[in-house]
Amino acid sequence: MIDIRLIRENPDLVRENIRKKFQDEKLPLVDEIIELDKENREAIMRGDELRNRRNVLSKEIGGLMQKGKREEAEKIKQQVKDMQDELQALEEKEKVLSAEIKEKMMIIPQIIDDSVPLGKDDTENVEVERFGEPVVPDFEVPYHIDIMESLDGVDLDSARKTSGAGFYYLKGDIARLHSAILSYARDFMIDRGYTYYIPPFMIRAEVVTGVMSFTEMENMMYKIEGEDLYLIGTSEHSMIGRFIDTILPEEDLPLTLTSYSPCFRKEVGAHGIEERGVYRIHQFEKQEMVVVCKPEDSMYWYDQLWKNAVDFFRTLDIPVRTLECCSGDLADLKVKSCDVEAWSPRQQKYFEVGSCSNLGDAQARRLAIRVRAEDGSRYFAHTLNNTVVAPPRMLIAFLENNLNADGTVAIPTALRPYMGGKEYLGNRE
């Protein structure tokens, strides 16, 4: 949510930002907010005038009563009562107007960074840099489920019976590999100075609306029936939520955090949950990184976060690239974002395995996460997040890039301690 003062003082900038995001249907909101804000401030000013006048008259009543001028005092009492009735109506009007302004403000997109490329959707995202040499082996790379099944590591049929499409059972070495990757990711981030968390896996509605847009919420979140609770779609939600309505000492920043959680997603609009695949699923696990920092430091930490993910994948011998998200592909709360994509030898193209985002003060403004400076002044923090790793999607990249011609899968050196010293999965002839 942007600062309403920006709409008051520079509405053209807000309109231009809306156009850059190809959301012209939101343009009328700017004028609507300006008009509502004007009306609300007039109501506030009138209320302040009435309160001041009421205080003056109340003192007069006391003086008149002491002088025995009861009749004059009663007339002024009636004026005070009339003022009180008007004040009550004004206060109710302020509540209604404030709620309407907030509702519309929540829909206005965050001002994007000048470096964001303009484009309508993800087809216009821009490749930034590649890391590692993408290799196409001289043997056919099977579909990822076929690789898992050849290693007796997945059971989709049973999951469909118990839970439906979009779920899976992992077993044996594949299940162990899944856990090993998460454990390695945890230690990788701890070694880089991030504090490890396991957060709540359910959060209240006020946190949900504070960390994401309404569209994302509708398309992603599962609501717990009869409770003011939602299952998290990523641990970023509860990690940022833990700072709701707090004032952080400036000297404590930056806060660099890494968190593990299961994640639950509806995947609405995802053309289908694959019948035989683990790319788009309703349930998965993830290691996340989150930073809370001063505004002037947020772009520095944005670069650190995506580099962490790239470095992690490269230690597992997986080629990756970064892809700058264009203006039309940015969620409304984001200032700047890039995807980290892994190489798929089978498809001979890259696919998304993580997303790094700088949200500026959008989440902090919604959740009232403030910083107290040394001089006592207060300002909103900036928040950022990025995926370290999210198996089982990452398993697809891992299995394809480390597959041998004999059907075995090589275990990179960095991961072997988490796999009991194994150097490969499967039986070598």
Domains of the chain in start order, with CATH, are 4-105 (1.10.287.40), 122-425 (3.30.930.10)
pLDDT of residue 268: 53
Q: Helix or strand or coil: residue 246? A: strand
> How confident is the model over 227-244, as a mean pLDDT?
95
What gap in Å lies between CA 268 and CA 330, rounded to an integer?
A: 17
pLDDT at 275 over 90: no
Q: Helix or strand or coil: residue 4? A: helix
Give me the chain's average pLDDT, please.
Answer: 92
pLDDT of residue 279: 78
pLDDT at 94 over 80: yes
Reading the block at residue 90, the tokens are 């004004």
> How confident is the model over 41-45, as a mean pLDDT?
93
pTM over 0.85: yes
> How confident is the model over 359-364, as a mean pLDDT?
96
Hunting for tokens 């949950």 — which residue is that? 273
Instruction: Mean pLDDT check: name the lowest of 136-145, 192-201, 218-227.
Output: 218-227
Q: How confident is the model at residue 78 (pLDDT cuts 50, 70, 90)?
A: confident
What CA–CA distances, in Å, run from 390 to 67, 259, 347?
80, 12, 20
Pair type for strands 255-264 and 349-358: unpaired
Instruction: With CA atoms as reference, report the closest residue to 324 among 54, 156, 141, 112.
Output: 112
pLDDT at 76 over 80: no
pLDDT of residue 215: 74
The predicted-structure confidence for 297-311, as pLDDT tens digits, reads as follows 999 999 999 999 999
More confident residue, 273 or 366: 366
Cβ proximity of 325 and 121 under 8 Å: no
pLDDT at 62 over 80: no
Classify the phi-psi angles of 35: left when phi > 0, otherwise alpha if psi is within -120 to 50, otherwise beta.
alpha
**What does R_g of the chain's alpha carbons equal in angstroms?**
28
The predicted-structure confidence for 140-166, as pLDDT tens digits, reads as follows 999 999 999 999 999 999 999 999 888
What gap in Å lies between CA 142 and CA 353, rounded to an integer?
A: 19
By CB neighbour count within 10 A (0-12 exposed, 13-18 middle, 19+ buried), where does 165 fall?
middle
pLDDT of residue 52: 85
What gap in Å lies between CA 271 and CA 30, rounded to an integer?
A: 34
> How confident is the model over 330-348, as a mean pLDDT?
96
pLDDT of residue 60: 76
pLDDT of residue 220: 85
Q: Helix or strand or coil: residue 315? A: helix
Strands, DSSP E only, in 182-328? 195-197, 202-203, 222-223, 230-231, 246-249, 255-264, 283-293, 320-324
Q: What is the DSSP letter of 297?
A: G
pLDDT at 53 over 90: no
What gap in Å lies between CA 224 and CA 81, rounded to an integer?
A: 47
pLDDT at 135 over 70: yes
